[in-house]
Amino acid sequence: MSVNSPLHASRYAESVSVETAREIIAHAIAPVLETEKPVLRRTLQRVLAEDIFSPLDIPARNNSAMDGYAFSAERLDMHASPILKMVGSSHAGRAYTGRVASNECVKIMTGAVIPDDCDTVVPLEDALVLETGIQISPNAVQKGDNIRLRGESIEAGALALPQGTVIRPAHIGLLASIGLSEALVYRRLRVAFFSTGDELRLFGEKIDDGGVYDSNRHTVYALLSRLGCDPVDMGTIRDDPRILEATCLKAAQVADVVITTGGVSVGAADYTKQVLEKLGEMAFWRIAMRPGHPTAFGTLFTTKKSTCFFALPGNPVSVMVSFYFFVRDALLRMMGALPSPPVSMRVRTVSALPKRQGRTEYQRGILFQDETGTWCVKTTGGQGSGILSSMTRANCVIILPADSGGAHAGDTVEIVPFEGLV
Ligand code: AMP
Ligand code: MG
């Protein structure tokens, strides 16, 4: 299934492998250090800048996991269906404060504090309400049942969340549960981006002369926003080396990272590479992958600072693939996040997936359940890097390694679901 022409081999000779590209990027970037302390609700998707230790045991007291009756199983014969006298009730937020003797019980609600004398809760449905008292069904419970123990979620002094955590809803909830109304996070990463191309048109302009609406700028904005960055839109730039140079310099001054799209191929109007080389250092400018082959990475130098850049290809699918598999990880590291490689899994493909050896391919796939309920993947069809509509139909990327010659229907392949990527 592989096609290996000498022409093809030379095309990839100047490219770095995906693994090398990742190493070069990881080596070159440094996380931002500035921090701020927003109120808790404003920390969603931000990165925690310190370890958080719990000041409290959570739960703070032993409490009931069920609506039922609390009693002491210690001195009771549970097989004898004991009948207990109800002496009070304990509500969540309103605890029973009296004593409970060994032949007594307290009606208790979920979340209510367990009275000191009790060690077990029998659920309402496992007890009979008799005139003489509350009868517990034989074998309904064992000592210690239905009690949430003090500190079982988190103990006072324990690490609640490590520095570098990307804050998601569960983290917000946990921080609230230990009584923290704000959290120290790294400041947002400022990412300047722009599109290049004489053919690019803005909304409202006509495209019947062969123009295309600038979609990349909006895709990149969306990707950055979802990742939790501060996107700085530098606009749509013409294929003019002077304008390109001025825009790159300005972007490098105002942002932590610069992302460009288009103009990194070898066409007559592809000035991005030449301008970036003039203003900085190019670590690589091609990755042995498809789509996304002309992806460049390096550093721009201004009088005040150095700023790393990603020069992504112009094709809309390539932009997304390069972002997902190279830019995303780099930005997360710069945001101070702990490494979080995309979730991948291996599933059976029902489609043949032809490819050439020598480059990693990221094909668009649709993950679905077959008639037996097993998750499988199929191709979206044409893999042209301009077919952005296929990205909207796909729900995952199929990763075919460089040394693979493609997959047959029935083979097992690696996929990365879009959900969770950004
Ligand atoms: P380039 O890498 O500049 O040669 O562009 C490759 C292809 O992507 C061309 O067909 C461009 O028209 C298209 N393209 C480049 N930039 C954009 C953009 N911002 N939005 C949509 N398509 C683009
Ligand atoms: Mg172009």
Indicate the residue among 334, 369, 396 that finishes a domain.
Answer: 334
Same domain, 322 and 355: no
User: Is residue 166, in this structure, part of any structural domain at all?
Assistant: no
pLDDT for the residue numbered 2: 42
The residue segments making up the domain with residue 210 are 6-34+188-334
Q: What is the pLDDT of residues 36-55, one digit of tens each?
A: 999 999 999 999 999 999 99
**Which ligand minimizes its atom distance to the CA of 291?**
1
| Residue 72 Cβ contacting ligand 1 at under 6 Å | no
Per the model's pLDDT, the better-predicted residue between 307 and 267 turns out to be 307
220 three-class SS = helix
pTM of the model: 0.93
Dihedral pair phi/psi, residue 362, rounded to 5°? -115, 95
Same domain, 267 and 357: no
User: Is residue 182, in this structure, part of any structural domain at all?
Assistant: no
Same domain, 277 and 368: no
Assess whether the previous peptide bond of 291 is cis (omega < 30° from 0): yes
Same domain, 349 and 330: no
Q: What is the pLDDT of residues 400-419, one digit of tens each?
A: 999 999 999 999 999 999 99
Q: Are strands 63-64 and 147-148 parallel, antiparallel or unpaired?
A: antiparallel
User: Is residue 45, in this structure, part of any structural domain at all?
Assistant: no
Indicate the residue among 309, 334, 359 that finishes a domain.
Answer: 334
Indicate which CATH number applies to the domain containing 140: 2.170.190.11
Q: Which of 203, 207, 209, 212 to mutate to test the pocket of ligand 1 (most atoms within 8 A of CB)?
A: 212
Task: Kindly report the protein residue whose alpha carbon is nearest to atom 14 of ligand 1.
Answer: 314
| Residue 262 Cβ contacting ligand 1 at under 6 Å | yes
Same domain, 329 and 355: no
User: Is residue 277, in this structure, part of any structural domain at all?
Assistant: yes
Cα of 3 from ligand 2 centre, angstroms: 28
Same domain, 200 and 295: yes
What distances in angstroms separate CA 106 from CA 39, 68, 110, 119, 383, one per listed residue? 40, 8, 13, 12, 67
Query: Are the C-beta atoms of 330 and 191 separated by less than 8 Å?
Result: no
Same domain, 302 and 399: no
Cα of 53 from ligand 2 centre, angstroms: 51
pLDDT for the residue numbered 3: 44
Q: What is the pLDDT of residues 79-121, one digit of tens each?
A: 889 999 999 999 999 999 999 999 999 999 999 999 999 999 9
| Residue 316 Cβ contacting ligand 1 at under 6 Å | yes
Same domain, 250 and 277: yes
Q: Where are the alpha helices (DSSP H) in 143-198?
A: 169-177
User: Is residue 56, in this structure, part of any structural domain at all?
Assistant: no
Same domain, 360 and 308: no
User: Is residue 258, in this structure, part of any structural domain at all?
Assistant: yes
For residue 355, give the nearest of 306, 399, 406, 397 by alpha carbon: 406
Same domain, 238 and 323: yes
| Residue 265 Cβ contacting ligand 1 at under 6 Å | yes
Task: Kindly report the protein residue whose alpha carbon is nearest to atom 23 of ligand 1.
Answer: 314
Tally of domains in the chain: 3
